[in-house]
Amino acid sequence: MKIEFIAAEGLAAIEGALAVSAFDGGDGSGTEALNEATGGAVKRAVEASRFKGKAGQTLDILAPQGVEAARVLLVGAGDKAMFDASAAETFAATAYQSLKLSGAETLTVFLPGETAETAAQAAFGARLAAYRFDRYRTKDTADKKPSIERLRIACDDPKAAKKAYAAFDAVADGVELARDLVSEPANILHPEEFADRVRKLEKLGLEVEILGEKDMKKLSMGALLGVGQGSVRDSQLAVIQWKGAKDKDETPIAFVGKGVTFDTGGVSLKPADGMEEMKGDMGGAAAVTGLMAALAGRKAKVNAIGILGLVENMNDGAAQRPGDIVTSMSGQTIEVINTDAEGRLVLADAIWYCQDRFKPRFIIDLATLTGAIIIALGNDYAGLFTNDDDLADRLTAAGKAESEPLWRLPLPDSYNKKLETAAADMKNVGDRAGGSISAALFIKKFTNDVPWAHLDIASTAWKKAGSSPTTPEWATGYGVRLLNRFVADNYEG
């Protein structure tokens, strides 16, 4: 979809589909101008409907007299005093979702009187709404395919809006990359293929290094390698560097992603119902990949590291068994009680490698780690665990600003008893009570006291039904926006 910014003038001459915001009560500058241009037709249409301008409401008016637009969409924007850049994003996304199958090829979103930044974010919202993973759909008829090919944002300063949109465009690239990765089937996106796609990001200026199994064996990464030993696909560790700070030797910030490209549960086999969703168990690695692409795309003034632990948890005669004991890169030994608690084993070695090699200011890991976090928080919040209050505050603020909210949970020392075992330094699972907490406490043992935060995104990385007009039904790309904002607000310049 081509995105353009045009001057918000000559409303009556706009062709194609036209989207105008309406506030509580059904009024607004755009609706008033439209009503005048149509000789009162818009007002009569509103009065004949239940449209009140409530957030998310829409009213589609076909071929009104007095304007060139083939259809006019009124989009409820709620309280006028609360209309900001985030609301403009939702407005534009709602307009796109409402008209994407209408047959209209051009959609103009009318935003007079708003800032260039607000206009840019509206375009961002529509672009995210337009995402569609359809590369394997071969029989869609024309009426099932989106018709909109061009989006126009009509605003007061098109030139400034276009300039402001450049950074949003890079972030959208990162979100869409993360969504693509999570959406790919596991027979296509195995660890080696994931690593190959990461290599292609070098064109953005990222430095990429891939460690294979021989490399990881030399580093004694027994925890990570144990997870993938039942797969015919070799495990990989992807190291991504972005050196955007003025001082290229400045201490970097670091992000680590769990990348289990498919998780059968191993010998501790998952139930068949819903197992197909485990193609998305690399949502953490996808988010880190998308973040690094976004930072490079917008030339972020920061040095950042992305580490991806890429494995496939499968069953064969070589697969890891419950009761096996592995030695992690840190030297700590782990009794594997449940082979379906594999993500924390991957993170154990990836995080230790990250802190040992790069000595970062902090480490943030993302992982679709526990089903327990879904029970605790539902599908709109991700779980936040951290040993650093400043990280907690900054991450929470970024999540709120980007509508990717976090909820902080505790890390009580007393719960470490759940991980004690007579056979090794620790076991990889506690009991069912507080399962997300004991999983985070396990990961914490491999941070070497570096400031660290763990984001359990099992609740948000994918959804069966989109709860926002900017997100599709499956992969959300959760984490890219949040962490990009976190970096931009706190660590650049």
Catalytic residues, by residue number, are: 270, 344
Taken in order 290, 292, 293, 295, is the CA torsion positive or negative? Answer: positive
DSSP conformation letters of 390-422: HHHHHHHHHHHHTT--EEE----GGGGGGG--S
SS3 77: coil
Q: CA 62, CA 57: separation in Å to the nearest integer?
A: 17
Strands (E), 201-235: 207-211
The full length of the chain comes to 493
The contacts of residue 34 (CB under 8 Å, 6+ apart) are: 11, 20, 42, 64, 67, 72
Question: What b/e string do you get for 312-328 counting C-beta neighbours within 10 Å, with b at 16 or more?
Answer: bbbbeeebbeeebebbb
* HSE (side-chain half, CA atoms, 13 Å) at 256: 28
d(CA 448, CA 443): 10
Cβ neighbours of residue 351 closer than 8 Å, sequence gap 6 or more: 256, 307, 363, 365, 443, 446, 447, 452
Query: Which amino acid is located at 12 in the chain?
Result: A
**Are the CB atoms for 428 and 446 separated by under 8 Å?**
no
Helix (H, G, I), strand (E, B) or coil at 274: coil
Scanning the structure block, which residue is given the tokens 């670091």?
254
Token code pair at residue 227: 């997870």
Strand extents, DSSP E, 314-410: 325-327, 333-335, 363-367, 382-386, 406-408
Does residue 369 contact residue 379 with C-beta atoms inside 8 Å? Answer: no
